[in-house]
Each structure stands twice: as C-alpha cells, then as structure tokens.
Amino acid sequence: MSAPVTYLGFNIADSMFDDVGDCLILRSKTDFLRVRNALKKGVVSCLNPSHKNTIAELERRYQVSLPVPARPERVTLKKGDTIIIISSRGLPRKTGNIVEFSAEELKRASFNFATYTLLEHK
C-alpha cells in the first residue's frame, strides 16, 4: 500500500470515491493552522484556477501561497488519504466557467476548513 496522500481543494465530489465503493469517511472541522502545516509537508492541489480572485483573497488573508495547478488533477481517494476542503461562506452562487467575485463580496466572506479522511472501504 502506498503512503497516504493529502489533497487540497474547494469541494468534495462523489467521483473521488469511484475506486473504493462503500466506505467510511471521517469529516473533521479544522483551522488554518492545519492547512498551513499540510502545505509545508506537501499537498496535491486540486484547486481550480478559475477561482483566481478567491485564491488571491485566501493568500492575502492567511499570508500563504497556495499551489494552483494549471489544470486540477482528478482525485481518486484511497484508504488513508485526506482531502482538506476550503469552503466559503457568504459568497453568492456563481455559474459558468469563470468564478470571480468582487473585492467587496470577498471581503464579506468567511472561509471554513474541514478534512475528510477515507478510513476504510469494503
């Protein structure tokens, strides 16, 4: 079995579990210190570059540089893997390929962090 991987993204998708079928997942609320520590250890980023100004706001607010791939990797979680999810609160719902918010919208937003760890599967 390979070493567990930590991913970083804005959402979790059902397709991330395609290779495992039924499984048990642990979701834990966390703070940015955990995110910062994971960044230092190394993460596989699946942040979508179309969220450019949201990423810039996170970097400004938390004084960190986030890895942003040119094209987000398809994530397939394996037992022991973790994905850290950055979710915004208070931003309006956007549609389309480019997701940009105004500076004022981003200023009012808050960001929450959670880890999802794949514990076991059948």
Question: Do 12 and 99 form a contact (C-beta atoms < 8 A)?
Answer: no
Query: What is the CB-side half-sphere exposure of residue 86 using CA atoms within 13 A?
Result: 25
Question: Do 114 and 85 form a contact (C-beta atoms < 8 A)?
Answer: yes
55-107 tens-digit pLDDT: 999 999 999 999 999 988 889 999 999 999 999 898 877 666 656 888 888 88
Q: How many residues does the chain have?
A: 122
Query: What is the CB-side half-sphere exposure of residue 94 using CA atoms within 13 A?
Result: 14
Report pTM.
0.89
Q: Which residues pair with 26 in a beta bridge?
A: 117
Domain ranges of the chain: 6-109
CATH topology assigned to domain 6-109: Rossmann fold (3.40.50)
